[in-house]
Amino acid sequence: MSWAWFHRLGSPKWFYGRFKAWPKPLFCLACLCLVVAMVWGLAIAPPDYQQGNSFRIIYVHVPAAILAQSCYFAMGIAGIVYLVWQIKMSPIFLQAAAPFGALMAFTALLTGSIWGKPTWGTWWVWDARLTSVLVLLFLYMGVIAVQSALEERPLADKAAAVVSVVGLLNLPIIKYSVEWWNTLHQGATFSITEPPSMPMAMWLPLLFAVIGLYLLTAAVIMWRMQTEIMRREARTQWLKQEVLSDGI
Amino acid sequence: MTYFSFLRAECCLVWRRKQNVVNSVLFFLLVIVLFPLGIDATPMFLSKAASGIIWCAAALAILTSIDSLFKEDYHDGSLEQWLISGLSVPILVLIKMTLHWLFIALPLLLLSPILSEVLYLPDNSFWPLFLSIVLATPSLFLLGGIGSAITVSLRQGGVLMLLIVLPLYLPIIIFATSITKAAQVGLPYDAPLAILAAIFLVSLVVSPLMTAISIKASVN
C-alpha cells in the first residue's frame, strides 16, 4: 500500500483539497447524534434511584471531559510531529484545536460544579479530577496565550508546539499527583472496553453523546483549520484559484 | 568558545550582577512575611502551613529570577553566539541553569533553618523540607527555563511566562509539601521523594532540549 496520500496531507494545499467537503456532513451527523442523545438522555432515560433527575447532566459533563483530554492528547502529538518533522499542518492544527479544547475543559468544569451542588453539597472541592481538569484548562490557556502574544509566526508556532509537548508530558504527572493528594470524584464512568456499570437505557444515550461530540469536534476543528490555511496561504496561486472557482 | 570558557564567563557574569541574586532572595523573604501577616500568625496555623509557605515563596522567587535568565543574552547577541559556536546548545543551557540554581538555591537552603524557626516548623520535618528543596528546585529551574526561552523576545514576557510555567509547577509543589506533611505525622516519605527525583530526571532530559529549540526559534 502506498502512503503517498498520507504524506501529502502534510501540505496545506492537499489537506485543503481533500477535506474541503468534509466538515458540513460531519457537522450534520454530529447534530443528529447529539439531538438523539439529548432527547433520549434528558427525556426518555429513567431517573437515577439516588440522584433523581440531576444525574442527567452526565450527558454533557462526561463527553466534554473526554473531549477536553482527547484534544490535549492530539495537540501534544501534533506538537511532537512539528518539533521532529516540521510539518506545516501541525501548528495549524494546534491553533485550531486549542480554543475548542479550552471550551471543552471549561464546560466540563462548569457542568461538574453544577452537578456537584446537589450531589456533594458544594460547588467546588479541591479534588483530584477537578483540579487536574482545572490545570488542563490552564495549559490550554497557556498555548492560546503563546499563540496570540508572539507576533512572529514561526516563533509562535514553535513555542505553541513546545508548550503543548511539555504539557503532554506533565499531564500524567499532574493527574497522579492530584489523585494521590486528594480524591472525592468517582472513577471513570465511561469505557468502551469494559462492560458498562450502568443500565443500557442510561448508557446508550451517553455513547451517542460521546460519539456526537467527537464528530462535532472533528467538524469544528476542520473548519477552523481551513480558515487558518486560507489566512496563512492567502498569497498563493492555488488558493486564489480555489476561491475563484467556488464562484465568489 | 569552549564549554569551560563559557562556564567561566557565566560565573563572572553572575558574580558581577550579584544584586539580582540578592533581589530574588529578598523577594523570597518578603513573600514569606506576607503569609503570617496576611492570614494568621499563631503557631498553630503556621506550624501546619510552614512548608507550604516556604514552597510557594520559593517557586515565586525562582520564577521571578528565571524571567530574566536569557533576556540580557538575547539583547546583547550572546544567544546568537551560542548558536554559531558549534557547541551543543542544550549543554550550554544546562551549564547556565546549573550555575543559576547554585546561586539561588544555596541562599534558600542557608535561610531554611532560620525560616523554619520563624514559621514554627516542627523539628522532625526540617530535614525532609531541606531534602525536598534540594531535590525539587532543580526541576523548577529546568521547567522555568523553557518559559523563559519562549518569552525572551517579548518586552513584557513576564506574565506570559508565569502562565506557561506555573501549571507545570503544581505537581512539584504538591509532592514537595506532601513530604513534610508525611514527616509531621511520622509517616514514611520516601515515595514522594522518589517521585520528585523522577520528575527531576524527566525534566533534566526534556527541558534543555526544549529550551534550546525555543532559543533557536526566538533568535531567528
For residue A155, tell me if it sits in a domain.
Answer: yes
Q: What confidence tens digit (pLDDT) does each residue in B156-167 have?
A: 778 889 999 999
Question: What's the Cα-to-Cα distance from A31 to each of A3, A70, A75, A192, A217, rounded to whole Å?
Answer: 33, 20, 24, 22, 11
CA–CA dist A248, A229 (Å, integer):
18
CA–CA dist A205, A68 (Å, integer):
19
CA–CA dist B166, B147 (Å, integer):
10
Domain boundaries, chain B: 3-219
Q: How far is CA A144 from the centre of its chain?
A: 14
Q: What confidence tens digit (pLDDT) does each residue in A133-142 have?
A: 898 999 999 9
For residue A248, tell me if it sits in a domain.
Answer: no
Which whole number is the average pLDDT over B176-195?
A: 87
Q: What confidence tens digit (pLDDT) does each residue in A188-243 have?
A: 556 656 666 677 778 888 889 999 999 999 999 999 999 999 888 888 888 888 88
Considering only CA atoms, which of A58, A40, A70, A64 is closest in space to residue A196? A58
pLDDT over 70 (residue A23)? yes
Which whole number is the average pLDDT over B102-119?
A: 89
What's the total number of domains in chain A? 1
CA–CA dist A116, A42 (Å, integer):
18
Interface of A with B (CB under 8 A): 83, 135, 138-139, 141-142, 145-146, 149-150, 152, 154-155, 158-159, 162-163, 165-167, 169-170, 173-174, 177-178, 180-181
For residue A145, tell me if it sits in a domain.
Answer: yes
Q: What is the pTM of this model?
A: 0.87
CA–CA dist A144, A156 (Å, integer):
10
For residue A1, tell me if it sits in a domain.
Answer: no
Q: Are B160 and A135 in contact (CB < 8 Å)?
A: no
Q: Considering only the beta carbons, identify the residue of A149, A158, A173 that sits closest to B154.
A: A149
Q: Collapsing DSSP states into helix, strand and coil, what is residue B40? A: coil
Q: Are A170 and B217 in contact (CB < 8 Å)?
A: no
For residue A2, tell me if it sits in a domain.
Answer: no
Residues spanned by the domain of A94: 60-240
Confidence of residue A182 (pLDDT cuts 50, 70, 90): low
CA–CA dist A198, B129 (Å, integer):
46
* Least confident range of A153-162, A189-198, B71-80, B202-211: A189-198
Q: Collapsing DSSP states into helix, strand and coil, what is residue A48? A: strand
Considering only CA atoms, which of A72, A50, A47, A232 is closest in space to residue A136? A72
Which residues of chain B make contact with A72, given a CB cutoff of 8 A?
none
For residue A168, tell me if it sits in a domain.
Answer: yes
Q: Are B146 and A181 in contact (CB < 8 Å)?
A: no
Which residues of chain B make contact with A149, given a CB cutoff of 8 A?
151, 154, 157, 160
Interface test with B, best of A81, A139, A162 (most B CBs within 10 A): A162
Q: Collapsing DSSP states into helix, strand and coil, what is residue A66? A: helix
For residue A138, tell me if it sits in a domain.
Answer: yes
In sequence order, the 6+-apart residues with CB closer than 8 A to the CB of B11 are B99
Q: What confidence tens digit (pLDDT) does each residue in A50-66 have?
A: 777 778 888 889 899 89
How far off is chain A from B14, nearest CA to CA, in Å? 27
- What does the CA dihedral B138, B141, B144, B148 come to, rounded to 10 degrees? -150
